[in-house]
Structure 1
Amino acid sequence: MKTSFLFAFFLSRPALLAAASLLTLAAGAAPVVPGASAGSSSGPAAVVQHEHSEFEATLLAPYAGDATSRAQPDARTFTLSFEYPGLAAPRVARWQLDLLAPSGRVVATWQGALTLTGQPLDVTVRWPGLVDGRPAAPGIYRVRMGASTGSGDAAEDVEQSWDIGVGAIPAPALPAFQPLPTGHTVQSPDAAPAPSALPYTVYYGNLHSQTGDSDGGAPLSECKGAQEPQSAPYGPAAAYPYARDRGLDFLMVSEHNHMYDGSDGTKSDADPAKAKRLYHAGLQTARDFSAANPGFLALYGLEWGVISKGGHLNIFNTDELLGWEQTAKGDLLADTATARGDYAALYTLMRQRGWVGQFNHPATGGQFVIDGKPLAYTADGDAAMALCEVMNSAAFSNRDDESETRRSNFEQACNKLLEAGYHVAFSSNQDNHCANWGASYSNRSAVLVPNGVPLTRASFLDALRARRVFATMDKHAQLVLTANGRLMGERFDNSGPLSLQVHYASDNGRRAASVALMQGVPGRNGTVTPFAKNPDTTFTPTPGPHFYYAKVTQDDGAILWSAPVWVDQHQP
């Protein structure tokens, strides 16, 4: 994935290669499976670009220091995790880790290199809790990782960053907030939901997962990454009860749209009728399970696109299989033809059909390109795309106890989409490829449905269209932003002062450690910046359009993101 992060600070090539040789940890790269290239009907001698063959780098930065160390209570160990599934030959990856003080000044830097061979590799960096040889001053610091492999058009860059707490930090004074009822309190026969000033119920779920209908669904003991398409035993009929039994209120099974022929490429002799039957069977499974299990919503749809020179997005409510692949006879392996990589045309079709979408794990460069511009805005795209994944747990995690530590942050790319003019709320999902739907980590996407309205496909889509959504790394927490009493997700005109209130609640004893109110300008294509730490802030915006959202970090480091509000400020 490309970012705008600069890598000029990396080692010179001779020094880099020397460092790489010292850091080489394994050998024997996994081969790329031969076959036809994706999106073509070429013969079997062509080479498949595996859908998940890409550079992956994540950063684990513990929010709190080592409580066991009296001498250095703020010391901690950062873990950088690297992987390149399906790598055909060893590749050198370079990395740099920066520690930024609350002022934004870089106070510590580490860098190095390693050789990737297709197997996961970790690098640990120890910070003693010191700045300029003295204990670091209290505050919220930021740990930022830049990692890169390849060069030129083949370069793949990743930037990840997380906040950490240093020293004793006063807790923010949050406005009083009566927690909203949840799907579980609504369903419990002996627990009446608490009254609330906001007439909504919160439902938590996972909006990104795969099963054996594409490249997911493998048993945990055998799951090492993405599966060969349609090779794993567990399909949507297994995923929905699993997620329900793990406490989720909804699960989106989002199968790769180009794998319904059972391949990562194109099977020139595939049966179009079989591919379409599989997709429509998945839709029926979701409808049947939802009908038989009131209170749980089973969703089935598409993850459209490819990663290489593309970008993945989910379509939550298409009853049509979309595709671009054809058999050797020219028969379309889908219900409806959509050109590979043509995001402008797809957005137009989505708007015409009333389909609702989500940008999946977006990168800041090289994805969702229109007329040569990444993350490009169109009015049709703005109407159709409701969500942006701001944080995901590891797609190939085989953990089922919510203990996964590999997590990716996509806030920078989501902010670029907001600055481009998109009206998207944040979501947080798991992209499960193993049979652990919603169980690898505690993160969730949460939707607000009016009290008394059942959770159905229709009420869920209404919530998405209204952007009544927040993203959370903690399934026990809630975050709602209001602006002059209006709910997050709304767009309105304003004259005079604007009062933003951050409403946070936790039902497992956590507290908010910090609050950041973020601001930006839709259509400016600039930078989203923090502007206030007070969770109850009143000010008068400058004339013109603005958006604002809240970000709360808990005392355990888990983050919640509200949906934005969009305000067009007028002179009084």
Structure 2
Amino acid sequence: MNWKTRIAGGLLLACSIVAAPAFAGSLPDHEEFEATLQVPFRSTGVRPVTMHFSYPGAMPGTQVAWEVAVLGHDGGELRTWQGHSALGTGSTRAQVPWDGLDRQGHAVPAGYVTVRLRAVALDGATVARIGNGLPGQALTLAQQRAPELVEEQRYDVLVGAVAAPAMPHFQALRRHAVTTTALSPMSATTTGGLPYTIYFGNLHSQTNHSDGGGVLSSCVGAQNPQSGAYGPSDAYQYAMNEGLDILMTSEHNHMYDGSTGTNTSASPTTAHNLYQSGLQAASAFNAAHANFLAIYGLEWGVISNGGHLNILNTPSLLEWEYNSSNQLIGDVFTAKSDYGSLYTLMKANGWVGQFNHPATTGQFNVGGTDLAYTADGDQVMALAEVLNSSAFSSNTTETETSRTSYEAAYNILLERGYHVAPSSDQDNHCANWGASYTNRTGVLIPNGTALSLNAFLDAVRARHVFATEDKTGQIVLTANGHIMGDRFSNSGPLTLTVNYASSAGHAAQRVQVFEGVPGSNGTIGNTSSTATTTITPANGDHFYYAKITQEDGKQLWSAPVWVTQGTGGGDTTPPTVSASESGSSGTITLSANATDNVGVTRVEFYIDNTLVATDTATPYQATVDSTTLTNGSHNLVAKAYDAAGNVGTSSAVSFSVSNSTGVDTTPPTVSASESGSSGTITLSANATDNVAVTKVEFYVDNALVGTDTATPYQMTLDSTTLANGSHNLVAKAYDAANNVGTSSAVSFSVSNSTGGTGTQLVQNNSFENGTTPWTQTSGVINNTASEPARTGSYKAWLDGYGTTHTDYVRQSITIPATATKATLDFFMHVDTAETTTSTAYDKLSAQVITSAGKYVTLATWSNLDAASGYVEHAVDLSPYIGQTIQINFYGVEDASNQTSFVIDDVSVMVQ
């Protein structure tokens, strides 16, 4: 029975995953004890408080001792309930009703109160730690003797009627692919605005490269590594169709050996190739979809022995496991649970990280301290999750009620001194990437900057990020002309402004501004409950971040601003500063020329938005070891400060690094050729190297189709696996040092015969009999004369509006299991007003939608394929023999210059 009944206006929160009991160190990830709490934000009667406990690694019958408390404004307990529940097959639930009264039977006054859940699982290891297995005493003993084993979750709820806060005028930021007129601010907008566009992403998910990609109809937990049905390309397509702008597939680094433990027979080459294929899948998807960012990276670590973190941009597989031949099953050795060394490695390579579902204790330990601060860690760890939806949700309607809060751990990280922005992801293990709930991570990228991995990383390094449970909302904290994520000096008053907008008409019910001191290891306080707050901070370092609760209970978190408060006088003139750099290897010299009307107190040097050095006296210079930077292009910015805290920032200076590795750095040279247009096609390459070529890979339309390790470098390909029309061949040659040479693209054509006899599966294939049995967006099937049909009067006309628009037309068919071949054939006319000869602005994809809901893109055309008349296209459907599928034509048009995709005479012939 599905017990997860949705409660209107409520929130189901899962406790952050803490260190598992002592015996559970060998448990696979996600088999630790977890607890969730669901409470309606608003209620006019009895308010149900629902708890769910999950512990897949425990024996059935294991007791869970729990306590629910309602806390008042001062933190005192107004009402408590205690109880215990026995786990069934890994889970159980409990519920208590709260009637709005305190323990004396008095009505709790109107305002905000906190519902707190504490729970502990009484497995053998826990009982051994606390010395008693009686549920009635377990929580008290666990808090005294093993507090790290107690799960705690808090959620604020509204009692009675409380006036909503006044919100400032705010011109909503542009939403990627959405016009700003769709955004409704809290009050009338003003002219001007911040020069950023919001991109919404899900930065935490898995595919079948590790323990994700599970079929929705049967997915209830983590998949066995590499056993899931769907891989990275499937995930990117699904997320894009779901409306996301960014998806990161973050694969568990220790599962590339095909196991949750250690596979002693694993091949390092197989593991390496799997990781590289994921990077290639992301690269190929980005090349074909300019308005979407696919990211492939690692989720490093294990929950029960340190914690998970994402590395967003590593080109290498980091590992700690060895096979029976003492070979590392990866590219780079990293010691398990050694977070300090990992941070240092990340800094040296320019990698960026995110703390995943951080717990308040038992995780990210360095030198005996949990969530420990290190200077290297502070530079590389830019994000920390404050909330996730359930990792094992199979929900596809964005209504998942199981959501996990990590705000307490996030606050600890800030107090430790970490400069982390909040994120909110879904940790999808089932094939519903981004679809389980409306939570997103919002990333602010400057207007006019194309979406790319580098632009995304720049925004994350700048901490220009917010977390939201509502994809229609946005929150932006500003302070004295600075935006959330900024670090700056200040003197005198500081005005904090919490800006909010919603495209769905929601309103801010509550505003909270939190303040803390980085490095103090203290506590964070609520410094304001208004959207505009002017204060004069005490001298020293501070951080401030904002949280909004909407009227429906959904929450949004801004990134902090980090402020160094000084005693400056009336000086408001910032210094002027310029930067320069010399050297490309060895010792690199950074220089700045800075002047001020009063005096410059210091100059900071930033490389790629990371502070690398400070100088307090002229000439302002610093040196950097080039080996701490990756080879390639970098940016230098200098910031000059005066005694009043005014800051001047130089223009960015681009420079290159070229470190000698002491080994072979010369890539092979390679050229490619192709022969044949139907039947058997031959792909060939001519490759040479200064040492030796180890292999050649052949890519057709950015997809790897084969590899050859010996001359002559050749392979054959069945032409029916490609659609009729033009294709591109690229060859890549590798040497033993893993240098890569890439050939120029070679264009070739495929012309498969579509003749012969067979059975037609498509009904109403010329659209002459109306819309049945086709499913379409409004008006696609029509007989307008401006775009005539190929035959008859009717056709399917997708897009052609000259504005942002999406159309589809689809039909379900069943391909008999007895068929030996199945071919989709159709005629399409592409007509466009675009003038470019190089950029695909508007696209149409021929897709298959499987019975499991998976979208598979077979081929894509764009405005670049415009031509007079209809062109025939054929696509092989033989992989779907014996399946019921939908043939889907999916057209996407951007905001200007129409492109029409006109389709007629569609057939699926089987033989």
- Contact 1:74–1:166, Cα closer than 8 Å, also in 2: no
Displacement of 1:57 after TM fit? 0.6
Q: Does residue 56 of structure 1 match 2:34?
A: yes
Tell me the residue number matched to 1:135. 107
Residue 549 of structure 2, aligned match among 535, 553, 556:
553
- Contact 1:446–1:472, Cα closer than 8 Å, also in 2: yes
Displacement of 1:155 after TM fit? 6.5
Letter in structure 1 aligned against 2:32: E
CA distance in 2, matches of 1:168, 1:359: 37
- Contact 1:3–1:157, Cα closer than 8 Å, also in 2: no
Residue 467 of structure 1, aligned match among 463, 466, 473:
463
> Aligned residue pairs: how many?
522
Q: Does residue 426 of structure 1 match 2:422?
A: yes
- Contact 1:426–1:470, Cα closer than 8 Å, also in 2: yes
Displacement of 1:186 after TM fit? 6.2
- Contact 1:80–1:123, Cα closer than 8 Å, also in 2: yes
Tell me the residue number matched to 1:244. 240
For 1:442-492, what per-residue CA distance to the aligned partner results, in whole angstroms no more than 9, with x for missing partners?
Answer: 100000000111111011000100000000000000000001120000001
1:21-100 maps to which residues of 2 (within 5 A)?
49-65=27-43, 73-88=44-59, 90-100=61-71
- Contact 2:215–2:430, Cα closer than 8 Å, also in 1: yes
Counterpart of 1:382 in 2: which secondary structure?
helix
Letter in structure 1 aligned against 2:177: H
Displacement of 1:134 after TM fit? 3.3
Residue 344 of structure 2, aligned match among 330, 336, 348:
348
Tell me the residue number matched to 1:177. 170
Q: 1:154 to 1:532 in 2, by over 3 A?
A: closer
CA distance in 2, matches of 1:86, 1:290: 39
Tell me the residue number matched to 2:842. none
Tell me the residue number matched to 1:14. none
Q: 1:51 to 1:95 in 2, by over 3 A?
A: same
Residue 474 of structure 2, aligned match among 462, 478, 482:
478
Tell me the residue number matched to 2:156. 163
- Contact 2:224–2:259, Cα closer than 8 Å, also in 1: yes
Displacement of 1:398 after TM fit? 1.1
Q: 1:187 to 1:256 in 2, by over 3 A?
A: farther
- Contact 1:361–1:390, Cα closer than 8 Å, also in 2: yes
Letter in structure 1 aligned against 2:557: W
Q: 1:3 to 1:229 in 2, by over 3 A?
A: closer
Residue 119 of structure 1, aligned match among 90, 97, 102:
90
- Contact 1:84–1:117, Cα closer than 8 Å, also in 2: no
Displacement of 1:88 after TM fit? 4.3
Q: Does residue 258 of structure 1 match 2:254?
A: yes
CA distance in 2, matches of 1:260, 1:117: 32
Q: Does residue 105 of structure 1 match 2:76?
A: yes
Letter in structure 2 aligned against 1:563: A
CA distance in 1, matches of 2:287, 2:58: 43
- Contact 2:16–2:405, Cα closer than 8 Å, also in 1: no
Residue 381 of structure 1, aligned match among 363, 377, 401:
377
Tell me the residue number matched to 1:19. none
- Contact 2:466–2:556, Cα closer than 8 Å, also in 1: yes
Counterpart of 1:467 in 2: which secondary structure?
coil
CA distance in 2, matches of 1:262, 1:154: 35
CA distance in 2, matches of 1:221, 1:115: 28
Displacement of 1:4 after TM fit? 13
Counterpart of 1:364 in 2: which secondary structure?
coil
For 1:14-44, what per-residue CA distance to the aligned partner results, in whole angstroms no more than 9, with x for missing partners?
Answer: xxxxxxxxxxxxxxxxxx9xxxx99xxxxxx
For 1:220-248, what per-residue CA distance to the aligned partner results, in whole angstroms no more than 9, with x for missing partners?
Answer: 11101111111111111110010001111
Give the TM-score, by structure 1 length. Answer: 0.88
Q: 1:154 to 1:530 in 2, by over 3 A?
A: closer
Counterpart of 1:61 in 2: which secondary structure?
strand
Counterpart of 2:52 in 1: which secondary structure?
strand
Counterpart of 2:178 in 1: which secondary structure?
helix
CA distance in 1, matches of 2:148, 2:512: 33
Counterpart of 2:279 in 1: which secondary structure?
helix
For 1:497-552, what per-residue CA distance to the aligned partner results, in whole angstroms no more than 9, with x for missing partners?
Answer: 00000000111011000000001000000111111101100010011100000000
Where relative contact order (Cα < 8 A, 6+ residues apart) is larger, the structure is: 1
Tell me the residue number matched to 1:312. 308
Percent identity of the aligned residues?
A: 53
CA distance in 2, matches of 1:476, 1:419: 30
Q: 1:338 to 1:536 in 2, by over 3 A?
A: same
More deviation, 116-125/520-529: 116-125
Displacement of 1:124 after TM fit? 1.4
More deviation, 243-252/126-135: 126-135
Counterpart of 1:462 in 2: which secondary structure?
helix
For 1:177-196, what per-residue CA distance to the aligned partner results, in whole angstroms no more than 9, with x for missing partners?
Answer: 011111122699xxxxx975
Tell me the residue number matched to 2:753. none
Tell me the residue number matched to 2:771. none
Tell me the residue number matched to 1:529. 525
More deviation, 395-404/557-566: 395-404
CA distance in 1, matches of 2:315, 2:205: 18
1:351-500 maps to which residues of 2 (within 5 A)?
351-500=347-496
Counterpart of 1:173 in 2: which secondary structure?
coil
Displacement of 1:141 after TM fit? 1.2
Tell me the residue number matched to 1:28. none
**Structure number with higher strand proportion:** 2
CA distance in 2, matches of 1:204, 1:288: 21
Displacement of 1:102 after TM fit? 2.6
CA distance in 2, matches of 1:519, 1:386: 19
- Contact 2:56–2:89, Cα closer than 8 Å, also in 1: yes
Displacement of 1:121 after TM fit? 1.9
CA distance in 2, matches of 1:186, 1:77: 40
Counterpart of 1:78 in 2: which secondary structure?
strand
- Contact 2:493–2:536, Cα closer than 8 Å, also in 1: yes
Displacement of 1:118 after TM fit? 3.6
Tell me the residue number matched to 1:563. 559
Displacement of 1:90 after TM fit? 3.9
For 1:79-98, what per-residue CA distance to the aligned partner results, in whole angstroms no more than 9, with x for missing partners?
Answer: 11110123345422111111
- Contact 1:83–1:118, Cα closer than 8 Å, also in 2: no
- Structure 2: runs of 5+ lacking an equivalent: 1-13, 130-145, 182-189, 569-911
- Structure 1: runs of 5+ lacking an equivalent: 6-31, 39-47, 66-72, 189-193
CA distance in 2, matches of 1:2, 1:212: 26
Counterpart of 2:518 in 1: which secondary structure?
coil
Letter in structure 1 aligned against 2:178: T
Q: 1:516 to 1:2 in 2, by over 3 A?
A: closer
Displacement of 1:375 after TM fit? 0.3
Tell me the residue number matched to 2:221. 225
- Contact 1:2–1:156, Cα closer than 8 Å, also in 2: no
Q: 1:195 to 1:217 in 2, by over 3 A?
A: farther
1:7-26 maps to which residues of 2 (within 5 A)?
none
Displacement of 1:3 after TM fit? 8.8
- Contact 1:60–1:407, Cα closer than 8 Å, also in 2: no
CA distance in 1, matches of 2:297, 2:564: 35
Tell me the residue number matched to 1:516. 512
Letter in structure 2 aligned against 1:102: H
Letter in structure 2 aligned against 1:467: R
For 1:409-464, what per-residue CA distance to the aligned partner results, in whole angstroms no more than 9, with x for missing partners?
Answer: 11110110100000000000110111111111110000000011111101100010
